[in-house]
Amino acid sequence: MARALVCVCALICAAAAASVPPIGTQPEQVHISYPGVKNSMVVTWSTSNRTESVVEYSLWGDALFRKKAKGNYTVFTDGGTEKRTSYIHRVTLTDLRHGSAYVYHCGSDDGWSDVFYLTSLNESLSFGPRFALYGDMGNENPQSLSRLQKETQIGMYDAVLHIGDFAYDMHEDNGRIGDEFMKQIESIAAYVPYMTCPGNHESAYNFSQYRYRFSMPGHTENLWYSWNIGPAHIISFSTEVYFYLEYGLDLLFRQYEWLKKDLEEANRPEQRAERPWIITMAHRPMYCSDDDRDDCTRFQSYVRRGRNDTTPIAPGLEDLFYKYGVDLELWAHEHTYERLWPVYDYKVYNGSFEEPYVNPKAPVHIITGSAGCREKHDAFIPKPRSWSAFRSTDYGYTRMHLINSTHLYLEQVSDDQYGKVIDDIMLVKETHGPDAWL
Ligand SMILES: *[C@@H]1O[C@H](CO)[C@@H](O)[C@H](O)[C@H]1NC(C)=O
Ligand SMILES: *[C@@H]1O[C@H](CO)[C@@H](O)[C@H](O)[C@H]1NC(C)=O
Ligand SMILES: *[C@@H]1O[C@H](CO)[C@@H](O)[C@H](O)[C@H]1NC(C)=O
Ligand SMILES: *[C@@H]1O[C@H](CO)[C@@H](O)[C@H](O)[C@H]1NC(C)=O
Ligand SMILES: *[C@@H]1O[C@H](CO)[C@@H](O)[C@H](O)[C@H]1NC(C)=O
Ligand SMILES: *[C@@H]1O[C@H](CO)[C@@H](O)[C@H](O)[C@H]1NC(C)=O
Ligand SMILES: *[C@@H]1O[C@H](CO)[C@@H](O)[C@H](O)[C@H]1NC(C)=O
Ligand SMILES: [Fe+2]
């Protein structure tokens, strides 16, 4: 009898324990980003209940948590049926000693995160940052994740650029898929700035999951912005404004005007001398040789050539980027890797036949959307156009090293081949800007 009672109790208690909700004041989904202001870093995280927003930190090796910074939260209500709310906390660390390692945790007296470390950006113009680049990484089948986690944690990267399409999809299951994704990348994004742009998988509820969860520079809710690192000016923007017109055609024009202004400013002679590399990142490519009939498979790609079925007509971006001498354009969306010869308006402009990437006469495009997601790979058409230089359907990601003002190194890692480098180029430019095309 007594024994039976114990059994019943054990069953009931186990059931009760399984349904205890997580502590709502506990910080989760910690990630950092560079706000585009020198010697600063933003820490962002989430709680399901209202708490203060505090980061405690200290220089690596100092007594822990000697410094404290306070910030703020925004209440994010998902667009799904449950209208789930969460508190997105943002704290900006300012006055960091540049290029220095810090230890931090975040949260409040109602709950603290694990301890993480970050390195503030080296603000020197001769700093040679290293990046991991990829797009299209989801919760299911994120094949490159573990390699990226480890390589980030051992210090191989100064920043990560995630070129759109997260989680698949963040809004699903009333935003729980987004929560899971942000937890999944914490092991990367809590250590190095995780810089983003939106993709088509973020389109639900007017990109609200994307707009609320990240903390990119500028004041456009992460949709378009630019920032500087070492010898580079990096521009992130939304190709989705060309496709989701229901959210406002004005966004397309506002972005275009901003891009033009930003490129003009980045091309002021003193500016371009300091940051000679102009690199763009956005989700849907202008060119690709996949067989999925996407925008980039069409000669008149919206991103490349604009749209003429809008009033007014929407300008495309290839001419703009060419005019302002953009050096390198990073894309994703196709679940493959493709490198292009220098190309403008469907024509190849090699530096020379022997050394196509030494003083190329047009921008270089890289498409890197094969990190891994539930949609698996895309396939290529059998006979690519003459601008296609190298293609791979292996899962993987790209490494970029901005060596100095003249040399930029890119290599493609295959996760299918256990981390083997399957492609690499050295892009060399003695002249930057539109004069480089002459
Ligand atoms: C606290 O968070 C839980 C979910 O973890 C939620 O069910 C509850 O409504 C929240 N309480 C308040 C006061 O926000
Ligand atoms: C937090 O947000 C409130 C209201 O938006 C604002 O008044 C306050 O200055 C912010 N505090 C900090 C520390 O940013
Ligand atoms: C920043 O980078 C420059 C150039 O590589 C280097 O000389 C300097 O030591 C770095 N500073 C720090 C604090 O790491
Ligand atoms: C979508 O979000 C953007 C950015 O906040 C905003 O400017 C735009 O007006 C929104 N569109 C609609 C239809 O609500
Ligand atoms: C409008 O653009 C489409 C491709 O998007 C093209 O086929 C068509 O010829 C263009 N029409 C005009 C009037 O330019
Ligand atoms: C560009 O260079 C590559 C590599 O040498 C070559 O295969 C390709 O034919 C060149 N294209 C043109 C148009 O010269
Ligand atoms: C940039 O780095 C490359 C490769 O290490 C080197 O050959 C070149 O001389 C450097 N250029 C400048 C301007 O420092
Ligand atoms: Fe996509």
For the chain, the three-class secondary structure string (H helix, E strand, C coil) is CHHHHHHHHHHHHHHHHHCCCCCCCCCEEEEEECCCCCCCEEEEEEECCCCCCEEEEEECCCCCCCEEEECEEEEEECCCCCCCEEEEEEEEECCCCCCCEEEEEEEECCEECCCEEEECCCCCCCCCCEEEEECCEECCCCCCHHHHHHHHHCCCCCEEEECCCEECCCCCHHHHHHHHHHHHHHHHHCCCCEEECCCHHHCHHHHHHHHHHCCCCCCCCCCCEEEEECCEEEEECCHHHHCCHHHCHHHHHHHHHHHHHHHHHHCCHHHHHHCCEEEEECCCCCCCCECCCCHHHCCCCHHHHEECCCCCCEECCHHHHHHCCCCEEEECCCCCEEEECCEECCEECCCCCCCCCECCCCCEEEEECCCECCCCCCCECCCCCCCEEEEECCCEEEEEEECCCCEEEEEEEECCCCCEEEEEEEEECCCCCHHHHC
pLDDT at 340 over 90: yes
pLDDT, tens only, 45-83: 999 999 999 999 999 999 999 999 999 999 999 999 999
Distance between CA atoms of 182 and 45, rounded to whole angstroms? 9
Which among 100, 119, 138 is the end of a domain? 119
User: Residues with beta carbon inside 6 Å of ligand 7?
Assistant: 403-407
Give the closest ligand to the alpha carbon of residue 53. Answer: 2
Residue nearest to atom 13 of ligand 3 (CA): 99
Distance between CA atoms of 370 and 372, rounded to whole angstroms? 5
Distance between CA atoms of 408 and 129, rounded to whole angstroms? 10
Q: Is 70 in the pocket of ligand 2 (CB under 6 A)?
A: yes
Residue nearest to atom 14 of ligand 6 (CA): 353
- Looking at the structure, do residues 357 and 420 belong to the same domain, yes or no? yes
pLDDT at site 28: 98
Q: Are 390 and 410 in contact (CB under 8 A)?
A: no
Q: Is 43 in the pocket of ligand 6 (CB under 6 A)?
A: no
pTM equals: 0.94
- Looking at the structure, do residues 115 and 242 belong to the same domain, yes or no? no
How crowded is the C-beta side of 86, counted as CA atoms within 13 Å? 26
Percent of the chain with pLDDT over 70: 96
Distance between CA atoms of 188 and 148, rounded to whole angstroms? 7
How buried is 232 (Cβ within 10 angstroms: 0-12 exposed, 13-18 middle, 19+ buried)? buried
**Nearest atom within ligand 1 for CA of residue 48:** 2
Calculate mean pLDDT across residues 97-119.
Answer: 98
- Looking at the structure, do residues 65 and 166 belong to the same domain, yes or no? no
- Looking at the structure, do residues 341 and 423 belong to the same domain, yes or no? yes
Q: Are 392 and 336 in contact (CB under 8 A)?
A: yes
Q: Is 124 in the pocket of ligand 3 (CB under 6 A)?
A: yes
* Type of residue numbered 248: G
Tell me, what CATH number does 60's domain have?
2.60.40.380
Q: Is 221 in the pocket of ligand 4 (CB under 6 A)?
A: yes
**Nearest atom within ligand 3 for CA of residue 128:** 5
Calculate mean pLDDT across residues 365-387.
Answer: 96
Residue 311 alpha carbon to ligand 3 centre in Å: 50
Give the closest ligand to the alpha carbon of residue 163. Answer: 8
Q: Is 83 in the pocket of ligand 2 (CB under 6 A)?
A: no
Residue nearest to atom 8 of ligand 5 (CA): 308
Calculate mean pLDDT across residues 374-399.
Answer: 96
pLDDT at 403 over 50: yes
pLDDT at 12 over 80: no
In a domain, residue 360? The reply is yes
- Looking at the structure, do residues 381 and 242 belong to the same domain, yes or no? yes
Q: Is 20 in the pocket of ligand 1 (CB under 6 A)?
A: no
- Looking at the structure, do residues 276 and 243 belong to the same domain, yes or no? yes
Residue nearest to atom 10 of ligand 2 (CA): 72
Q: Are 170 and 405 in contact (CB under 8 A)?
A: no
> Cβ neighbours of residue 5 under 8 Å, at least 6 residues apart?
none
- Looking at the structure, do residues 391 and 431 belong to the same domain, yes or no? yes
Report in angstroms the alpha-carbon separations of 323 from 111, 151, 215, 246, 436. Answer: 51, 37, 30, 30, 11
pLDDT at site 279: 99
Residue 180 alpha carbon to ligand 8 centre in Å: 19
With the most atoms of ligand 6 within 8 angstroms of its CB, the residue from 339, 340, 341, 346 to mutate is 341
Which among 119, 139, 165 is the end of a domain? 119
Backbone phi, psi, residue 192, to 5°: -135, 150
pLDDT, tens only, 169-191: 999 999 999 999 999 999 999 99
Q: Are 81 and 178 in contact (CB under 8 A)?
A: no
- Looking at the structure, do residues 286 and 214 belong to the same domain, yes or no? yes
Q: Are 70 and 58 in contact (CB under 8 A)?
A: no
Residue 402 alpha carbon to ligand 3 centre in Å: 14
pLDDT, tens only, 117-134: 999 999 999 999 999 999
Residue range of the domain that includes 80: 28-119
Distance between CA atoms of 112 and 97, rounded to whole angstroms? 24
Output the average pLDDT for the chain.
Answer: 95
pLDDT at site 3: 47
How buried is 238 (Cβ within 10 angstroms: 0-12 exposed, 13-18 middle, 19+ buried)? buried
Residue 165 alpha carbon to ligand 8 centre in Å: 5
With the most atoms of ligand 5 within 8 angstroms of its CB, the residue from 308, 310, 311, 318 to mutate is 308
Q: Are 156 and 392 in contact (CB under 8 A)?
A: no
Residue 83 alpha carbon to ligand 1 centre in Å: 12
pLDDT at 274 over 70: yes
Residue nearest to atom 10 of ligand 4 (CA): 247
Q: Are 318 and 345 in contact (CB under 8 A)?
A: yes
In a domain, residue 325? The reply is yes
Residue 191 alpha carbon to ligand 1 centre in Å: 29
Residue 369 alpha carbon to ligand 3 centre in Å: 32
Residue nearest to atom 4 of ligand 6 (CA): 353
In a domain, residue 9? The reply is no
Residue nearest to atom 12 of ligand 1 (CA): 49
Task: Judge if the upstream peptide bond of residue 292 is cis by omega within 30 degrees of 0.
Answer: no
Residue 242 alpha carbon to ligand 2 centre in Å: 34
- pLDDT band with cut points at 50, 70 and 90 for residue 22: confident
- Looking at the structure, do residues 81 and 175 belong to the same domain, yes or no? no
Task: Judge if the upstream peptide bond of residue 35 is cis by omega within 30 degrees of 0.
Answer: no
With the most atoms of ligand 4 within 8 angstroms of its CB, the residue from 219, 247, 250, 254 to mutate is 247
How crowded is the C-beta side of 116, counted as CA atoms within 13 Å? 28
- Looking at the structure, do residues 334 and 359 belong to the same domain, yes or no? yes
Strand 159-162 to 130-134 pairing: parallel
- pLDDT band with cut points at 50, 70 and 90 for residue 42: very high
Residue 334 alpha carbon to ligand 8 centre in Å: 7
Tell me, what CATH number does 380's domain have?
3.60.21.10
Which among 67, 99, 119 is the end of a domain? 119
- pLDDT band with cut points at 50, 70 and 90 for residue 26: very high
- Looking at the structure, do residues 61 and 201 belong to the same domain, yes or no? no
Give the closest ligand to the alpha carbon of residue 169. Answer: 8
Q: How many domains does the chain have?
A: 2
Strand partners, 402: 408
- Looking at the structure, do residues 171 and 316 belong to the same domain, yes or no? yes
